[in-house]
Amino acid sequence: MDNIPLLALLAALVFLLVLSAFFAMAETGMMAINRYRLRALERTGHRGARIASDLLRETHKLLSVLLAGNTLVNAAITMLVGVMTIDLFGQDRVVLGVATLVVAFLILVFAEITPKVIGARYPEQVALAASYVLKPLVKGFVWTLWIADLFVRCLLWVLRIPTEESAPQRLSIEELRILVLESGQFMPKKHQSILVNLFDLEAITIEDVMTPRAQIEAVDLEASVESLLTQLTTAYHTRLVAYRGELGNLAGILHLRKVMHLLRAEEFDRKALAGLLAEPYFVPTGTPVFAQLQYFQENRQRIALVVDEYGELQGLVTLEDIIEEIIGEFTTTTPVKSQVYAWDKDGSALVEGSSVLRELNRKLGLALPLDGPKTLNGLILEHLRDIPDAGVALKIAEVPMEIVQTQDRVVKTVRLFRPRASDLARAA
């Protein structure tokens, strides 16, 4: 290379560094690109996305070309710097050692780290642009690497590593949840909330969303006609549970619209009222909420009575209860759910003992345990293993609380105190 001008050698060195940087940047960009974003672009007819997808379907060929090109170019850079060093300074070993360090620095900074950082930072732009160059390279040179590929396959066979293409990775529920939560700039907050709530439907049961037995609005068919009329005309719901004597002796479900016909015809009495009852629909407490939504659809039902393993009534669940778990509360609320959960200025909140733990966690940002009792009263009784008196203070899941009122072996009112963020993180 004695006859080649030094300027030409420097230009060749710069060109090789740029070429090596291209291979490094393209490799990182192609491997880091979001495959789901790529599929979306491909469906819109984006040519670069289609080419990139074709390349990624045969990853071993793509990587073979990228790694072979990068290795050959880096070897050429090392040889070129060595020749330039000998031409300028002779074959002094110290100078050659310094030249080796210099070429390693050049390759590391300009052909490896910097381009790979750019490829990782802008994978979509890099991959789509590089795919136009990589496609002909893969077609033209991949077959020249069949010997290296043969050795690789033999080595993988010896190591008992399968050479078949692995199935495409599927996102788990938790990964989908994170994906939705991190898509704030692309999705309205309300849509985010609905999607996250949908993911939770598989994890919760109807016991988490039902109206407890003590809060069910029901009518006693053995009550006086005047009492029945008063209760029916002031009822909040259009469908009521009917029983005889005590709530465990269920008679059926009464629709108020049918009762109106009796009143118009002046035929209202207990016998006529009993004839309007629909057969109750029972479901076990452990039924997943999403499964129950399907059961409502298949059975054309809107209300179900929740029973335990012994057939004892535990509560009531409606189609509206499940829909509220997905889209949030409606503008109208029942009297038993009318409480507004919010922190006062002093950092406390006065709540009823019958409050559902899921609602408290959601509205007050707490982390009360949900794997046991479903209400605050049940959680306190389980924690203390006793019926507490008013004025007793305790802490559960880093949430300080004070018993304000107890009645009939039940915690009626509790004052919660806002925990510190660090305490909540530790409890979670």
- Asked if the 339-427 domain carries CATH number 3.30.465.10, the reply is yes
Cα 348 to Cα 399: distance, rounded to the nearest angstrom: 11
| Domain spanning 206-334: CATH superfamily | CBS-domain (3.10.580.10)
User: Which pLDDT value is given to residue 422?
Assistant: 61
Q: Is residue 293 a contact partner of residue 302, using CB atoms and an 8 Å limit?
A: no
User: Which pLDDT value is given to residue 202?
Assistant: 73
Partners of 307 in beta bridges: 284, 313
Tens-place pLDDT, residues 402-428:
999 988 888 889 999 988 766 555 555
Instruction: For the chain, list residues with pLDDT below 70.
Output: 1-3, 142, 145, 163-169, 184-185, 264-267, 329-340, 421-428
User: Which pLDDT value is given to residue 400?
Assistant: 92
Q: Is residue 354 a contact partner of residue 215, using CB atoms and an 8 Å limit?
A: yes
Between strands 348-352 and 282-284, the pairing is unpaired
Cα 409 to Cα 426: distance, rounded to the nearest angstrom: 32
User: Which pLDDT value is given to residue 117?
Assistant: 94
Cα 299 to Cα 329: distance, rounded to the nearest angstrom: 24
DSSP helix/strand/coil, 318: strand
Q: Is the pTM of this model over 0.85?
A: no
Tokens of 188: 């309205």
User: Which pLDDT value is given to residue 96?
Assistant: 82
Within a 13 Å sphere around the CA of 75, how many CA atoms are in the beta-carbon half?
6
User: Which pLDDT value is given to residue 22?
Assistant: 94
User: Which pLDDT value is given to residue 131?
Assistant: 93
Q: Is residue 27 a contact partner of residue 73, using CB atoms and an 8 Å limit?
A: no
Which residues of the chain does CATH 3.10.580.10 include? 206-334
CA distances, 24 to each of 103, 119, 348 (Å): 17, 8, 57
Cα 204 to Cα 130: distance, rounded to the nearest angstrom: 47
Cα 110 to Cα 73: distance, rounded to the nearest angstrom: 13
Q: How many helices (H) and strands (E) does the chain have?
A: 19, 11
Number of neighbours of residue 161 by Cβ within 10 angstroms:
9
DSSP code per residue over 182-249: T-TTTS-HHHHHHHHHHHHTTT-BHHHHSEEGGG--EEETTS-HHHHHHHHHT-SSSEEEEEESEEEE
Tokens of 181: 């939560």
DSSP code per residue over 56-90: HHTHHHHHHHHHHHHHHHHHHHHHHHHHHHHHHH-
User: Which pLDDT value is given to residue 380?
Assistant: 92
Tens-place pLDDT, residues 257-290:
888 777 766 667 778 888 888 898 899 988 888 8
Largest CA distance in the chain: 119
Which residues of the chain does CATH 3.30.465.10 include? 339-427
